[in-house]
Structure 1
Amino acid sequence: REFINIGSKTTTARGRRYLTLDEFHRQVNAGLLEVLEEEQDGDGSLKRVYVEAERWVESDTALLARVLGRDIGGKQNILVFNDEAHHAYRIRKDEPDPDEAELLGEADDAADFYKEATVWIEGLDRVHKLRGINFCLDLSATPYFLGRVGQDSNSPFPWVVSDFSLTDAIESGLVKIPQLAVRDTTGAEIPGYFNIWRWIMPQLTSAERGGRKGSPKPEAILKYANTPVSMLAGLWEHLRIEWEREKDDPRPPVFIIVCANTAIAKVVEEWLAWNKPPVGVPPHGIAGFLNTDDRTNTIRVDSKVVHETDTGHAKSDDSRWLRFTLDTVGRTEWPRDRQRRPIYPEEFEELAAKRGLPLHPPGRDIRCIVSVGMLTEGWDCNTVTHIVGLRPFMSQLLCEQVVGRGLRRRTYELGENGRMTEEVAKIFGVPFQVVPFKANPTAAAKPPAPRHHVQALPGRAHLEIRFPRVEGYRQAVRSRVACDWDSVPPLFLDPTRIPPEVEVKASLPTNTGRPSLSGPGRLEQITLSPYRQGRREQALVFEMARDLTRSYVEGGTCEAPAHVLFPQLARIVQRYVAEKVTPVPPAERVDLFLSPYYGWAIERLTAAIRPDAAQDEAPEVPRYEVSRGPGSTAEVDYWTSKPVREVLRSHVNYMVGDTKSWEQQAAQILDTHQGVEAFVKNSGLGFAIPYLHNGQPHDYIPDFVIRLTSGDFLILETKGFDDLAEVKAAAAERWVAAVNADGQHGAWRYTMARSVPQVREVMVGAGQGPSSPGLASGRKSADR
């Protein structure tokens, strides 16, 4: 039993324990405290409580039984994946971080952070003690130590072995471009709005700062933050009106303000949401942020609310509803099942009915979030356009976490140039120092294209097309192999791709950064001639055949011994080199046996070599996905800004075009052809054909899947220029042959049309059966 004082912070000082009123109620509701007596002050507020706390000690065996459950049971040598691993590292309790308050904000937040890190690591220690952890893999977008680790604070984990940095993601177009302040009218080397907190603090009086260990006065922070927030808010308002005018996406842009503590967040929320500015701060004048009796545009999210709902301790309806709201910011509707019924989160319907609120996602119309903390990892809103940081940032980890809340792209559609269009997030007050990107003031952003909802129509269920999901192939070669030469693509030794001749010169680069042919020094030509000399083609053929043989024997799919397999593969390689390899001068045929050509040749032969069915070998069959069943057009449901065309003989309402007219013309032929029962454009369908290139697995996405009136299925590719067109075609023919050999998913064929007239020819041939010219149907055209 003990006395607990109710204070402004959760802490222990001079032998006395203090809890905030919210934390006290949380522990009581969670059953951690039983109140025996209460003391109140003169105003009737709770001052001190006498409580009884019951603490239990859980044994290692009991913890493992509870955490690991029956699935793992007594198994040992466990593999651990630490997701969000920056929350799980071994801290030093005796080394508190002097900047802890600025790093993590309020004391409760720091306590929760270190408690979470400690609990997880201690749990892994107990698992390792009884079961043994064989390997632990950390996954994190921000692999940094945060605090309480001595000299390692704010430094990357030393065990990082793989890195794809945010700069790489920005340069590759996977995320938005964060735009930060780079210059202002003060002429200072570091603009004030680059780090708003550091810009504000020197301007505060000692009373406003609250002393060395105190918290600054919230009204004073807003007094100076008013201008940068209003500046970005004005840009946000113009963007909101622009999005509403376009009418293709009903979602509003989202504005985020990350505050140092609850007190600052409350003042900012009252200013933005309720137009109640403190003395000396003007109204913001942004109508889009104001809350009304029937509409919530701005919400305040305390880190405590997020923590309680994440851990299942949220007791109040307000806290639970706020979490539902936060989780659905930027969503217009709930996910749906196959009958198009919305899938609501657990307890959502009951809570909405209790509060008399509609069943649409409660975060749908949210425009502004005033947050204490970093929101949460995995928060998937992709409409954040503006961020303001009103807190200290003592770590790049915190900067990355805040900036990361705004980097999810609104759309991943490719533009006409085949690249993703530029999307930006404007950021003040988050001093993220490794992002050098600036806005281009001369280039006006293009308005986004209209968006279309592509979906399967329940009324066209009779047009559904199902397909197998193939992730690989199985072979069981006993003694004989063959090569399907019709499916082997040619290989061109292209000097414009891999130069076989280089001119070199002893000179320095010019002031343009480019080497120059002029100036002193002798120009010298280097070729492959020295390498080619003494290398006989026959010996190189044997080397490739040896590598192919080793691959087959070690792959576990071949029962034939190496001495039986090698002569067959040597003959196949020799014919491949003679018939399928074309050197373009000054390249020579022997250059095939240099990388990357050598690897490409082996990949293409591996894909074409099959068990010899003519010699009673079992044919190659597919290896289907285990976790998912067959795919279906019924699963198509997404939005796109690509051009679309309505179609009739398709389960899906639109044909989404990746070209200006090519695919649209092909779709018109398919939609009107008497031999077509149903078809679908392979967009958002998930139909993919596996193939290998450059030693890496890839997925080939054909253009159309067609169900013919004969009951057969046709995979149609409408291909323009593509360096890998023949490789992809070979992969498709292998897929067709394997699926047909398995026989569980009907009869399939594949063909490629390189022009609109060829599409008509293909469909004429399709009506004549599988043996029609130009259609692959797993035919036995293999030569031994």
Structure 2
Amino acid sequence: MLDYFSGLPELMVFNDEAHHIHDFKREGETTEVEWQKSLTRIAEAKGRRFVQVDFSATPYNDVGTGKNKHKVYFPHIIVDFDLKTAMKAGLVKSLVLDRRKEIGALPLEFKAERDEDGNPMLSEGQRVMLRAGLQKLRKLEADFARIDPSRHPKMLVVCEDTSVSPLVVKFFCDEGLVEDEVMAIDSGKKAELGEKDWMPVRERLFSVDQHATPRVIVSVLMLREGFDVNNICVIVPLRSSQAQILLEQTIGRGLRLMWRDSEYADSKRENRERIAGGKEPNSLIDILSIVEHPAFQSFYDELMREGLAGTTSEASDTTSSIGDLVSIGVAMVTRNLILPSPLFCARQKRAWSITHWILGSYSRFLR
């Protein structure tokens, strides 16, 4: 295959998720991975007849540690349409942090604990965050169903350890969900099932927007990229990583618009304006709620300073997730408001010239 592509007289290559093909060891020095090495070989004899176009939502590498940590952007960026620009334009969901007193008071406990018998168990901090996310999801489901029962909001829980994901699934089942409503996906799932049995699982995963179940998706970093669905409305990150790129990839799973219809445009615009002004949104239409530990709030500081991320408090539990939106059928409107119905009458045909029309229309002004 490599020889075939090398022998072509000309070639254009498009790389999606292109941050994977470059590995920055330090500023100014780039180490090529095997994919890029192959592309370099393919391009050798083609000169200007080879074009490579890279696409990435995170075209940088994290460099340094602690206070010296910063982003090093790829040197070959020619167009930069970043997340902030997309958020300002309303092309993705708005972002809010779910601020609850019980979460703010928690110690930073993201590692599973062990019971008296040595079995792994979720920490109390993890349980509180998961319960808060589930409460948010249930409210969204009930409120969204009032205006469109075909829209099914979903919650994504992101874990870093495969030992935690089964504990999360069990927690949700103990909270009243049935097994079919919780779907756990990790990097070993495909290998465990085999290609044939993996395909229906993958199909179910990528078609969650069209179905009421699963309601919750539990992932162990596997879905950071390529999981492009519209209905993720709540994300609970159960992780201790300090990597900015991990955060952006995780949040990116929930940013695709769920309510694209024009009738929701005014409501969403008003929400963006309220968030920019430091106020809570009036509704959660195309709002991504992050149930986050305060220890990681610095990740969002830049977005919040620019008015691109907001917060919701416990008070949002008692207000409608759809604001003042209501669903009213045409028949109900005409019956209750007694709107006039159009009545068409057949009239005798009459030939009109342009002169007749002009004089007839304005004859009252010519007297």
TM-score by length of 1: 0.34
Q: 1:769 to 1:140 in 2, by over 3 A?
A: farther
Q: Indicate whether 1:435 and 2:344 are aligned.
A: no
**1:331 equivalent in alignment to 2:232:** no
Q: Could you say what secondary structure the match of 1:435 adopts?
A: helix
Quote the residue 1:403 is aligned against: 251
Q: Distance in 1 between matches of 2:83 and 2:119?
A: 33
Aligned to 1:531: none
Larger proportion of helix: 2
1:462-521 Cα deviation digits (max 9, x unpaired): xxxxxxxxxxxxxxxxxxxxxxxxxxxxxxxxxxxxxxxxxxxxxxxxxxxxxxxxxxxx
Instruction: Give SS of 1:162's match.
Output: coil
Instruction: State the AA in 2 paired with 1:396.
Output: Q
The answer to whether the 8 Å contact 2:184/2:218 transfers is yes
User: Secondary structure in 2 aligned to 1:257?
Assistant: strand
What SS does structure 1 have at the residue aligned with 2:289?
strand
> Which of 81, 86, 92 is residue 164 of structure 1 equivalent to?
81
1:182 Cα deviation from its structure 2 partner: 5.7
Give the equivalent residue in structure 1 for 2:136. Answer: 235
Is the Cα–Cα contact under 8 Å of residues 382 and 409 in structure 1 kept in the other structure? Answer: yes
Task: Give the equivalent residue in structure 2 for 1:319.
Answer: 198
Q: Across the two proteins, how many residue pairs are aligned to each other?
A: 308
Aligned match for 1:125, one of 28, 35, 40: 40
Q: For 1:160, what is the secondary structure of its paired residue? A: coil
Residue 79 (str. 1) matches residue 12 (str. 2)? yes
Q: What amino acid is the match of 1:303?
A: S
* Identity between Structure 1 and Structure 2 (%): 24
User: 2:112·2:123 contact (CA, 8 Å) conserved in 1?
Assistant: no
SS of equivalent residue, structure 2 residue 131: helix
* Compared CA separation, residues 181 and 449, structure 1 to 2 (3 A): closer
RMSD: 4.3
Inter-partner Cα distance in structure 1 for 2:209 and 2:264? 26
Q: 2:44 is paired with a residue of what secondary structure?
A: helix
Q: d(CA) in 2 for partners of 1:176 and 1:315?
A: 35
- Equivalent residue runs for 1:380-419 within 5 Å: 380-415=228-263, 418=266
1:142 aligned to 47, 58, 65, which one?
A: 58
CA distance in 2, matches of 1:412, 1:773: 44
- Report the counterpart of residue 281 of structure 2 in structure 1: none
Alignment map for 1:741-752 (pairs within 5 Å): none
Aligned counterparts of 1:124 and 1:170: Cα–Cα separation in 2: 34
Asked if the contact 2:87–2:93 (Cα under 8 Å) also holds between the matched residues in 1, the reply is: yes
Distance 1:416 1:250 in 2: 16
CA contact (8 A) 1:253 1:385 kept: yes
User: Over residues 263-308 of structure 1, what are the superposed CA-to-partner deviations in whole Å (9 max), with x where a residue is unaligned?
Assistant: 11122112224x3xxxxxxxxx3x3x322xxxx11110112346x6
- CA shift, 1:415, in A, is 4.5
Distance (Å, rounded) in 2 between the aligned partners of 1:435 and 1:152:
18
Partner Cα distance (1:316, 1:74) in 2: 32
Letter of the 1:446 partner, please give it.
Answer: G
- 1:397 Cα deviation from its structure 2 partner: 1.5
Say if 2:318 is the partner of 1:379. Answer: no
Distance 1:153 1:321 in 2: 41
For 1:322, the aligned partner's letter is V
Q: CA, structure 1 residues 242+142, in 2 after alignment: closer, same or farther (shift >3 Å)? A: same
CA distance in 2, matches of 1:268, 1:218: 14
Matching residue of 2:178: 290
Q: 1:240 to 1:128 in 2, by over 3 A?
A: same
Q: Is the CA contact 1:192–1:199 (under 8 Å) kept in the aligned structure 2?
A: no
Task: Judge conservation of contact 1:88–1:121 (CA < 8 Å) in 2.
Answer: yes
SS at match of 1:175: coil
Taking a change above 3 Å as real, the CA distance of residues 183 and 63 of structure 1, as seen in their structure-2 partners, is: same
Distance 1:218 1:179 in 2: 35
Counterpart position of 1:601: none
Secondary structure at 1:227 match in 2:
helix
Given the superposition, is the C-alpha separation of residues 330 and 130 from structure 1 closer, same or farther in structure 2, using an over 3 Å criterion? Answer: same
**Shift, 1:261, TM fit:** 1.9
Which residue of 137, 147, 153 corresponds with 1:253? 153
SS where residue 33 of structure 2 aligns?
helix
TM-score by structure 2 length? 0.68
Could you tell me how far 1:139 is from its partner in structure 2?
Answer: 1.1
On the 8 A contact 2:24/2:61 being kept in 1, the answer is no
- Alignment-mate amino acid for residue 402 of structure 1: T
Give the number of the structure with larger relative contact order, counting CA–CA contacts within 8 Å between residues 6 or more apart.
2
Larger radius of gyration: 1
DSSP 3-state at the match of 2:78: coil
Whole-Å separation in 2 of the counterparts to 1:85 and 1:143: 8
C-alpha displacement of 1:221: 4.3
User: Aligned residue for 1:225?
Assistant: 126
Q: Give 1:247 shift.
A: 6.3
- What's the CA shift string for 1:174-209, capped at 9, x where partnerless? 2222212567469xxxx467xxxx8116x988xx6x
Structure 2: how far apart are the matches of 1:270 and 1:373? 19
2:101 is aligned with 1:179: no
| In 1: Cα distance, 2:119 partner to 2:71 partner | 27
> 1:416, 1:256 → 2: CA distance?
24
Cα-to-partner distance string for 1:411-456 (whole Å, 9 max, x where unaligned): 12335885635431211237432331324658754265549xxxxx
Letter in 2 for 1:401: Q
Partner of 1:199: 108
Whole-angstrom CA distance in 2 between matches of 1:768 and 1:320: 67
Matched ranges for 1:289-688 at <5 A:
289-291=177-179, 296-305=180-189, 315=194, 317-332=196-211, 364-375=212-223, 377-415=225-263, 418=266, 420=268, 422=271, 423-429=286-292, 431=296, 432-433=299-300, 434-436=302-304, 437-439=309-311, 444=320, 445-446=322-323, 448-450=325-327
Distance 1:673 1:174 in 2: 46
Aligned to 1:64: 3
The one-letter amino acid paired with 1:388 is V
Q: Does the CA contact (< 8 Å) of 1:170 and 1:177 recur in 2? A: yes
- With over 3 angstroms needed to count, the CA separation of the structure-2 counterparts of 1:248 and 1:180, relative to structure 1, is closer
Q: How big is each residue's C-alpha offset from its partner over 1:617-642, in whole Å with a ceiling of 9 and x where there is no partner?
A: xxxxxxxxxxxxxxxxxxxxxxxxxx
> Structure 2 vs 1, CA of residues 118 and 305 (structure 1 numbering), >3 Å: closer, same or farther?
farther
CA distance in 2, matches of 1:171, 1:397: 21
**Alpha-carbon offset, residue 171 of structure 1:** 2.6
CA distance in 1, matches of 2:264, 2:205: 35
The one-character-per-residue Cα deviations of 1:90-137 (angstroms, maximum 9, x if unpaired) are 466xxxxxxxxxxxxxxxxxxxxx9xx823212212212343464432
Q: For residues 374 and 404 of structure 1, do their structure 2 counterparts lie closer, same or farther at Cα, with a shift above 3 Å needed?
A: farther
CA displacement at 1:376 relative to structure 2: 5.2
Conserved? CA contact 2:96–2:310, under 8 Å = yes
Deviation at 1:258, TM superposition (A): 0.5
Show CA shifts across 1:670-712 (max 9, x none).
xx698xxxxxxxxxxxxxxxxxxxxxxxxxxxxxxxxxxxxxx
User: 1:226: how far off?
Assistant: 0.4
1:30-58 CA-partner distances (Å, limit 9, x unpaired): xxxxxxxxxxxxxxxxxxxxxxxxxxxxx
Uncovered stretches (5+) of structure 1, i.e. residues with no partner: 1-61, 93-113, 209-216, 276-284, 333-363, 452-642, 646-663, 675-763, 775-784
Q: Per the alignment, do residues 119 and 416 of structure 1 end up closer, same or farther by CA in structure 2, a change over 3 Å counting?
A: closer
User: Which residue identity is paired with 2:268?
Assistant: M
Tell me, what secondary structure is at the counterpart of 2:141?
A: helix
What are the superposed Cα offsets for residues 115-164 of structure 1, whole Å, 9 maximum, x if unpaired? Answer: xx82321221221234346443221111122689xx99853323333222
Checking the alignment, whether the CA contact within 8 Å between 1:81 and 1:138 is kept in structure 2 is yes
- Report the alpha carbon displacement of residue 82 of structure 1 after superposing the two structures with TM: 1.9
Asked whether the 8 Å contact 1:413–1:420 carries over to 2, the reply is no
Which amino acid is the alignment partner of residue 438 of structure 1? G
- Correspondence for 1:554: none
